[in-house]
Amino acid sequence: MDVVIGIDTGTTATKGVAAGPRGEIRALTSVHYPLSVPGPGRAELDPEQLTAAAIKALVDVAKACRENGDRVIAIGLSAFLHALVPMSADGKPLGPLITWADGRAAEQCERIVAEGRNRALQARTGTPVHPMSPLTKLAWFAENEPGTLRETPRWGGVKELVVAALTDGPFVVDLSVASGTGLYDIHSRQWDPEALQIASVRVEQLAEVVPTTTSLRLSSEVARATGLPADVPLIVGAADGPLANLGVGATPAGVAAVSLGTSGALRTVVDRPTSDEAGRLFCYALTEDRWVIGGAVNNAGSVVRWAGESFAAGFERPGAEGEDADERDAALLMEAAGVPAGSEGLLCLPYLLGERAPWWRPGLRGAYLGLRREHTRPHLVRAAVEGVCQQLALVRDSFDAEGHGVTEIRATGGAVASELWVGILASALDLPVAVADTPEGTALGACLLARHALGEFPDLDEAAALVPISRHTPPAPDDAAFYRKLRPLVERSALAVLDVVSELDKLAPEPLPGTEKAVRS
């Protein structure tokens, strides 16, 4: 069978898949690495581990293809957005990769907002002004490490780093990833002069922006390691969010995609760049004529993982010994399924890693409200899941306000294996949720986009129609009505505690030297 390999570099793992001509998965691998948290508000990755993981994932899937007797006809790349890494002139990393979850640029973000420049920047670049964005991260370097900013030959993100590791080609980045930097004008298709001035970065330090269907060549070294022909097309691909829409079949009008991994997002596809006047939604490219609008939330599966680590130390189901974190979290979710909607008066603001959409207000922190003596661990876990789904519902409400009607949800990500997650999501959004019959929708999206680049699917909706669905979950009417009434309290509570948590941050002691942590989610 002729297959395409998709490599998806995520926050805590790189996934590799090989997919056949109708999207059937022929091989699958995953390479994990830790997220480093060297201090409050920091979130970094080792870029050497990241590139090594991409190569290993490609090696492993290519080997599986040979064992299956399949022929690899192309490779497609996916990468998570909003990362920043200093790079040498030959593409080697010169420091840690700063991830989307890193909040060090909060002060720079607040200054841009206070100056009233944020809405115009977002309208031109499609990216909200937020500490997640490379725009504000570079502004932080300009104020705190100006020498590093000025003397670094290249500044890039995950895609630039992986492309440099896999090819000997030029310094390029795809339109999709560029549209998520906050530095690129998605309407005039050039690096934005005002954004570059704020970031104190020069055009020559940034990559050339190319279409997501651009074909590159593997380096001879990587070709030897993988056993693939050096001339197999390497399609530069797109960002993980837009590719997830394609990989779950959510490109037609009225269909939206939800990703529920470490973080989460709700997105729908439109046919041209568009801006949200209220500043609630991002706009990123999938191809030159298909764009994705939506909102990302910082906290999804990571919230249940935190609950398991915090509330279930030594927890074991009867008859289970030595179960790993995934099994423990699944058991906690089964417990939580016995709690009714609303967690009996318990409201969770699940902002453990801050929050993004729809408010894009740095400094938000998590909280439980309404906590009483009779609340138990299952209540705490269910309330956390409800909090994540309510945040995604606030994004869906923003769609409605902008006239982007959605009638169906396609879901992907590790959390959708849980019926509790999917059921609460369907009721919070008040929409039927269809779960794609593939564990790696984003990597599959990279495969489908690569086939589109090869000319197999001139219409992306034709490719999306190949994606099989494993199950449909309708909303529970009573739960949906309850969540709709509860949602205004979520927004009121989140914004009401913002000043309090800001003061708490000022009172928090600085971390002791040598207390760097590595987090695996």
Q: Is residue 464 part of a domain?
A: no
What are the tens digits of pLDDT across the range 113-155?
999 999 999 999 999 999 999 999 999 999 999 999 999 999 9
- Is residue 54 within 8 Å of residue 37, measured between CB atoms? no
With cut-offs at 50, 70 and 90, classify the pLDDT of residue 436. Answer: confident
DSSP states along 468-502: -EEEEEPPPHHHHHHHHHHHHHHHHHHHHSHHHHH
> Backbone phi, then psi, for 360, in 5-degree steps?
55, 45
Q: Is residue 451 part of a domain?
A: no
> Backbone phi, then psi, for 208, in 5-degree steps?
-70, 135
Q: Is the pLDDT of residue 260 over 70?
A: yes
Q: Is residue 159 part of a domain?
A: yes
Question: Quick one: 195 and 331 in the same domain?
Answer: no
Last residue of a domain, one of 225, 240, 255: 240
- What is the number of helices (H) and of strands (E) in the chain? 18, 25
Q: Is residue 89 part of a domain?
A: yes
Q: How far is CA 338 from the centre of its chain?
A: 30
Angle CA 34–302–256, to nearest 5: 115
Last residue of a domain, one of 188, 214, 240: 240
Question: Quick one: 234 and 351 in the same domain?
Answer: no
Please count the other Cβ atoms lying within 10 Å of the Cβ belonging to residue 470. Answer: 10
- Is residue 304 within 8 Å of residue 384, measured between CB atoms? yes
Question: Quick one: 23 and 138 in the same domain?
Answer: yes
Phi-psi region of 380 (alpha: psi -120 to 50; beta: other; left: phi over 0): alpha
Instruction: Give burial (CB, 10 Å; 0-12/13-18/19+) of 330.
Output: middle
- Is residue 6 within 8 Å of residue 78, measured between CB atoms? yes
Question: Quick one: 416 and 343 in the same domain?
Answer: yes
Q: Which residue has the tokens 């190569």?
A: 55
Global pTM reads 0.89
Q: Is the pLDDT of residue 320 over 70?
A: no
Per-residue confidence (pLDDT) for residue 96, from 0 to 100:
98
Question: Quick one: 323 and 398 in the same domain?
Answer: yes
- What is the mean pLDDT of the segment spanning 207-211? 98
Per-residue confidence (pLDDT) for residue 517, from 0 to 100:
47
Q: How many domains does the chain have?
A: 2
Q: Is the pLDDT of residue 519 over 50?
A: no
- What is the mean pLDDT of the segment spanning 328-340? 94
- Is residue 281 within 8 Å of residue 271, measured between CB atoms? no
Question: Quick one: 224 and 311 in the same domain?
Answer: no
Per-residue tokens: 125? 């670049």
- What is the mean pLDDT of the segment spanning 159-187? 97
Q: Is residue 278 part of a domain?
A: no
Question: Quick one: 35 and 144 in the same domain?
Answer: yes
Instruction: Give the span between the Cα atoms of 459 and 437, in whole angstroms.
Output: 22
With cut-offs at 50, 70 and 90, classify the pLDDT of residue 282. Answer: very high
Where is average pLDDT lowest: 357-361, 378-382, 450-454, 475-479? Answer: 357-361
Q: Is residue 134 part of a domain?
A: yes
Question: Quick one: 187 and 305 in the same domain?
Answer: no
Q: Is the pLDDT of residue 318 over 80?
A: no
Q: Is the pLDDT of residue 521 over 60?
A: no
Question: Quick one: 60 and 182 in the same domain?
Answer: yes
Q: Is residue 458 part of a domain?
A: no
- Is residue 425 within 8 Å of residue 472, measured between CB atoms? no
CATH for 487: 3.30.420.40
Q: Report the range out of 21-35, 204-218, 453-467 with the highest average pLDDT.
A: 204-218
Within 8 A by CB and 6+ apart from 199, the residues are 134, 135, 138, 139, 142, 183
Question: Quick one: 209 and 356 in the same domain?
Answer: no
Question: Quick one: 227 and 313 in the same domain?
Answer: no
Last residue of a domain, one of 220, 240, 260: 240
Instruction: Give the span between the Cα atoms of 336 and 461, in whole angstroms.
Output: 38
**Which range of residues forms the domain containing residue 7?**
2-240
Instruction: Give the span between the Cα atoms of 410 and 309, in whole angstroms.
Output: 29
Within 8 A by CB and 6+ apart from 494, the residues are 349, 351, 355, 359, 364
Q: Is residue 210 part of a domain?
A: yes
Question: Quick one: 40 and 140 in the same domain?
Answer: yes
